[in-house]
Structure 1
Amino acid sequence: MTYLLRATLIALALLSTVACSSKRLLTPDRTLPVTLKTDRAQMQQAIVKTLVARQWTVQQITPNRVQAQITVRGQYHAEIDIPYSADHYRIQYRDSRGLDYKDGKIHKNYIRWVRLLDKGILRELKDHQNELTARQLSESALATPQ
């Protein structure tokens, strides 16, 4: 009897471990604060730069959408669409293989990849804004007679 109980407990532990690797699908839907001024071209550039830096392959770029995919270790594959405007973007799931997508849940690695993309895009936009501000301050300091 103890062998059967032990085997049942091990099976339950394994099942709970597998269940924990799937999380609810994450779809970041980000509207930029008014303090972060950008245009459509800057938004597109921030998205593409972040995708490339995170080793995603950009498949298609249109004036209001970027499509990308990533394959990790030849086994995990995800595809996303990123519709955007000058002050908004959304990272949408399109398709995947090896990430166990089912009923709105997906492997936690996909969630991590999307969070990193979201943070990276925001960082790129903020860095661009800071660079513009620094350039404007520098130019105004040079233009002001001492």
Structure 2
Amino acid sequence: MSSLFRATLIVLALLSTAACTSKPMYTPNRVIPATIQASQEQVKQAILKNLVARKWTVQRISPELIQAEITVRGQFHAEIDIPYSASTYKIVYRDSRDLDYKDGKIHKNYIRWVRLLDKGILRELRDNQNERTAQQLSDAATKSFPAGQ
């Protein structure tokens, strides 16, 4: 076997290993920005809306905790807990299958799923705040300038 061919095989093996490596666990622990005024119910609804949109299955809902799971391509499975309040939420790993969880590291796809869920929840809370602000401005304008005047 030529040394160039052997070197190429080694490089390909290293690249394929690097592509499949696990990453440190990602656990978003969000304090909802002060610019977003949300009730606990609104936080719960933002979480639920994004779980459904991202194809997670909601397992359990209680006043301060949502549990969910996802199974991708019938094989890769993850379970999370989301404790929440009117001012915070956290996405916590609970269990997984075929995602190579070991020593605080997990497959990068889990990290991506949780990041997208986290971003979606924050976006939903911001959008809801913007809608409430726009409605308040509209209501104030209607009171100041009644129709027909």
Hey, what does 1:14 align to over in structure 2? 13
Structure 1: gaps spanning 5 or more residues: none
Hey, what does 2:50 align to over in structure 1? 50
SS at match of 2:118: helix
AA aligned to 2:13 is L
- Map 1:99-110; keep pairs closer than 5 Å: 99-110=99-110
Hey, what does 2:86 align to over in structure 1? 86
Q: Give distance in 2, aligned partners of 1:113 and 1:89.
A: 16
SS at match of 2:101: coil
Bigger mean CA offset, 10-19 vs 86-95: 10-19
Q: Give distance in 2, aligned partners of 1:20 and 1:88.
A: 34
Shift of 1:18: 2.6
The share of aligned pairs that are identical, in percent, is: 62
Shift of 1:90: 0.5
- Alpha-carbon displacement from aligned partner over 1:29-71 (angstroms, at most 9, x marks no partner): 1101111111110000000000001010000011111000000
Q: Give distance in 1, aligned partners of 2:18 and 2:81.
A: 27
- 2:81 aligned with 1:61: no
Structure 1 stretches (4+) deviating beyond 2 angstroms?
8-21
Hey, what does 2:25 align to over in structure 1? 25
Shift of 1:20: 3.8
AA aligned to 2:88 is H
Q: Give distance in 1, aligned partners of 2:68 and 2:110.
A: 13
- Alpha-carbon displacement from aligned partner over 1:99-124 (angstroms, at most 9, x marks no partner): 11111111111010000000000011
Shift of 1:19: 4.1
Shift of 1:98: 1.1
Q: Give distance in 1, aligned partners of 2:82 and 2:19.
A: 27
TM-score, normalised by the number of residues in structure 1: 0.91
Number of matched pairs: 145
Q: Give distance in 2, aligned partners of 1:101 and 1:15.
A: 21
Report the CA distance shift for 1:75/1:11 in structure 2 as closer, same or farther (over 3 A). Answer: farther
Q: Give distance in 1, aligned partners of 2:103 and 2:8.
A: 27
Hey, what does 2:136 align to over in structure 1? 136
